[in-house]
Amino acid sequence: MADQTPAPITLADQAAAPFRSAAGAAGGASVDAAAHMLSDMFLSLTNGRATNVASVTQAGDQVIDAIAEIGIAPWMDTVRAYHEGTFQHCLIVTGLTTLFGQKTGMRRRDVALLTMVGLLHDIGKARIPLEILDKQGPLTEREFAIIQSHPVIGYDYLLAQGGFPPSVLSAVRHHHEYLDGSGYPDGLSDAQIDDVTRILTICDIYGALIEERAYKKPKTREEAIRILLEMGAEGKVETGLVQAFAS
């Protein structure tokens, strides 16, 4: 007998629904461009369609210009007003990685790399059922294992497309690794983790802490930085980068 279990709802289903344009809000055109790029890619990954570096670069360029022009706070307000859940998370992390590059005086090319890894880091979540991704209670061991597959799903997809820089592939695969070797998927440590990945990991954690979800209150900026500094003291993330991020 055929399996009657309905297919789980994923980000691709969310991405397929039209979302409200942020065009009138501060930095809205860049938020729209990044959100459309993300939704296209969530759909492409799920349907086995191709994607390309140019579309990510184009969306990233608009984000970089918008944040340089209006600053991070109004850009984040627009993201929060128009997007929720994983979409919001990816956009917030993109804003943070972009800001990190800009405020530490990186060249445009290096900022663009950080913007790209922010946009792409959780692309593998396209295949994780939303009921697991957005679950409010604690995850079972099996659900946690499913969530933990997202960096490799994203890496495999981008690798298969060709043309994405090795540092982007590496950051997507390794953004949940910790310097003390306690992360996943490969249990890398110290020198095995490059700078782009280290910066992305810090922005990813900070983004998750300050995000508002139905089931958790957002941390303040100060609380989030304190938590990251504690993780630095435990040897999980690089304290110097947290300090540069916080300054």
Q: Which residues bind Fe ion (CB under 5 A)?
A: 122, 204
What's the CA gap between 28 and 21, in Å, rounded? 8
- Maximum Cα interatomic distance, the chain, rounded to a whole number of Å: 62
The catalytic position among 103, 125, 135, 236 is 125
CB of 120 to Fe ion, least distance (A): 10
Contact 126, 45 (CB under 8 A): yes
For Fe ion, give the closer residue by CB, 29 or 208: 208
CB of 151 to Fe ion, least distance (A): 6
CB of 90 to Fe ion, least distance (A): 7
What's the CA gap between 210 and 135, in Å, rounded? 18
CB of 24 to Fe ion, least distance (A): 28
Three-state SS string over 193-225 comes to: CCHHHHHHHHHHHHHHHHCCECCECCCCHHHHH
Which are the contacts of 71, defined by CB distance < 8 A and separation ≥ 6?
Answer: none
216 is catalytic: no
For Fe ion, give the closer residue by CB, 85 or 165: 85
Output the six-digit token pair for 91: 């956009």
In the block, residue with structure tokens 């990044």: 34
For Fe ion, give the closer residue by CB, 66 or 133: 133
The b-or-e profile of 182-218 (16+ CB within 10 A means b, else e) is ebbeeebeeeebeebbbbbbbbbbbbbbbbeeeeeee
Active site residues: 125
